Chains A and B, each alone.
Chain A
Amino acid sequence: MRYAMAIDTKKCVGCSDCVVACQTENNVPIGYCRDWIVEVTDGTYPQLEIEIRSERCNHCDNAPCVRCCPTGASHFEPGGIVTVTHNKCIGCGACIASCPYDARYSHPDGYVDKCTFCIHRIQKGEKPACVSVCPTKCMYFGDLEDPNSDVSRILKKRKYKTLIPEAGTKPQVYYLI
Chain B
Amino acid sequence: MREELITSGRLNPHIDPHLEIWHWQIPLYLFLGGLAAGILFFAALYTILGKEDKYPGAVRRAPIIVPFLLIIGLTALFIDLRHKLFFWQLYTTIRLQSPMSWGAWTLLAITPLSFAWAALHIREFFPNWDWKFTILKEIEKFLLQYKLTMAWVIIILSVILGIYTGILFSAFNARPLWNTSILGPLFLTSGLSAGAAAIILFATTKKERVLFAKIDLMLIGIELFLIIHMFMGFLASTEVQIEAANLFLGGSYTAPFWIFVVGMGMVVPAILEILELRHIKVPVVIPVVLVLFGSVMLRFIIAYAGQFSRWLY
Contact = CB atoms under 8 A, between A and B. Distances in A.
Interface in B20-77: 21-22
A40 B10 contact: no
B98 A38 contact: no
A131 interface: no
A67 B14 CA distance: 22
A26 interface: no
Interface residues of B, number: 48
A98 B174 contact: yes
B278 interface: no
A100 B83 contact: no
B82 A164 contact: no
Contact of A40 (B5, B14, B16): B5
Contact of B311 (A16, A71, A96, A167): A167
B173 interface: yes
A31 B6 contact: no
Contacts of B92: 71
B101 A19 contact: no
A68 B99 contact: yes
B285 interface: no
A38 B95 contact: no
Nearest to B103: A70
B1 interface: yes
Contacts of A110: 82-84
A93 B82 contact: yes
Nearest to A100: B174
Interface string A97-113: 11110101110011100
A123 interface: no
Interface string B76-108: 000011111011011011010111110110000
A32 interface: yes
Given A90-B83, A99-B174, A68 B98 contact: yes
B238 interface: yes
Contact of B14 (A70, A87, A105): A105
A41 interface: yes
A162 to B, nearest CB: 10
A106 B81 CA distance: 10
B154 to A, nearest CB: 23
Given A72-B93, A106-B14, A111-B83, A39 B6 contact: yes
A36 B12 CA distance: 10
A100 B311 contact: yes
B173 A100 contact: yes
Interface of A: 16, 19, 31-33, 36-44, 55, 64, 67-73, 86-94, 96-100, 102, 104-106, 109-111, 163-164, 166-168
26 contacts: A16-B9, A32-B12, A36-B10, A37-B8, A39-B5, A40-B5, A41-B3, A44-B3, A68-B98, A69-B98, A70-B103, A88-B89, A89-B86, A89-B89, A90-B81, A90-B84, A90-B87, A91-B82, A91-B86, A93-B22, A97-B21, A97-B175, A98-B172, A105-B14, A110-B82, A164-B311
Given A33-B9, A97-B175, 18 more contacts: A31-B11, A33-B12, A40-B4, A44-B2, A64-B173, A67-B98, A68-B97, A68-B171, A71-B92, A71-B93, A87-B89, A88-B89, A99-B174, A109-B83, A111-B82, A111-B83, A111-B86, A166-B238
Interface of B: 1-16, 19, 21-22, 80-84, 86-87, 89-90, 92-93, 95, 97-101, 103-104, 171-175, 238, 307, 310-311, 313
